[in-house]
Amino acid sequence: MDTKGFIRETIEAIREKVKGKALMALSGGVDSSVCAYLSHKAIGSDLYPVFIDTGLMRLDEPANIKETFKEMNLGAINAKESFLDSLKEVEEPEEKRKVIGNLFIRVFEEVARDVGARYLIQGTIYPDRIESDGGIKSHHNVGGMPLDYDFEEVIEPLRDLYKDEVREVARALSLPDEMSERMPYPGPGMAVRILGEVTEEKLKIVKRANKIVEEEIKAYKPWQAFAALLGKGTGVKGDRRVYGWIISVRAVESRDGMTADFLRLPWDALERMSFRITGEVPGVSRVVYDITPKPPATIEYE
């Protein structure tokens, strides 16, 4: 890919299309961050980057995002309660994705009305579209989005790029390493890493477990790694039987997320994660390691 050429043409194209103010859905991941930087170069203060705190992000992420984008007059919206409420009793994975996609767009529409923006810019990349079109999963920024949105146009500047190409653009834009080399994180967040209904208790547990996985796995440079909460199983603590949560650790290598293989981690690293998660996260009594490639599994659990 001609990265410099792509940057030049994309900035030009955004400038051409947007006649007025545009909202930008910012999650803090590499795709939406690159998208925000390109859009900001294109339309400057007509860009309204908005970060919705769904309560489904990683620990500390909302604070980090606010800090990183403070130069860009970032709008941050606390929608934790609405998301948790809407997800009550929703167990079916595609239903969950639709509920989240729907709520996202409704919140954006509200902000758009407030600031008078008629355009929505999103960081959708090529694999997101392929998987949604192919009926594999409704990625929340594609198939999970309702079609009756109230914007003049939804603009997706990265829609033809693979993840490694997005990273190249990030490097060419001199974005910090922690942004360009960031692990992918799905739009619906922890909701697709909790099997069944999303509750506050499960969220708290999976977020804490996830932080431990990220800390312990950093040295092995996975393409993506995280914790998921599977369900409950019997365990024993002291001399008491407990019915505790089961955490699955997932760590994969991949080029573009379309296929993936599990990481051959040393036993020591796995043992440390198991020890720390069961010791530091109350309510967890079992840790398993996922050794399934994609296909037949997908990277995320739902």
Residues that bind ligand XMP (CB under 6 A): 128, 131, 137, 139-141, 184, 186-188, 224, 257, 294, 298-300
CB of 187 or CB of 244, closer to ligand XMP: 187
CB of 188 or CB of 244, closer to ligand XMP: 188
Tell me the closest approach of the beta carbon of residue 252 to ligand XMP, in angstroms.
8
CB of 198 or CB of 244, closer to ligand XMP: 198
Whether the Cβ atoms of residue 185 and residue 27 lie closer than 8 Å to each other:
yes
CA angle 129, 134, 261 (to 5 degrees): 85
CA 59 to chain centre: 13
Whether the Cβ atoms of residue 231 and residue 205 lie closer than 8 Å to each other:
no
CB of 55 or CB of 257, closer to ligand XMP: 257
CA R_g for the chain = 20
Q: Locate 77 and state its tokens.
A: 């919206």
Cross-strand partners of 252 = 224, 262
Q: How many CB atoms lie under 10 A from the CB of residue 104?
A: 24
Which amino acid is it at 200?
Answer: E
SS3 string, 187-201, reads CCHHHHHECCCCCHH
Tell me the closest approach of the beta carbon of residue 298 to ligand XMP, in angstroms.
3
Tell me the closest approach of the beta carbon of residue 203 to ligand XMP, in angstroms.
17
Q: Any idea what DSSP says for residue 218?
A: G
Tell me the closest approach of the beta carbon of residue 161 to ligand XMP, in angstroms.
13
- In sequence order, the 6+-apart residues with CB closer than 8 A to the CB of 107 are 52, 77, 79, 82
Tell me the closest approach of the beta carbon of residue 222 to ligand XMP, in angstroms.
11
CB of 185 or CB of 244, closer to ligand XMP: 185
- Cα separation of the two ends of the chain: 32
CB of 40 or CB of 139, closer to ligand XMP: 139
CB of 58 or CB of 137, closer to ligand XMP: 137
Cα(70)–Cα(62) distance, integer angstroms: 12
Tell me the closest approach of the beta carbon of residue 37 to ligand XMP, in angstroms.
17
Tell me the closest approach of the beta carbon of residue 32 to ligand XMP, in angstroms.
8
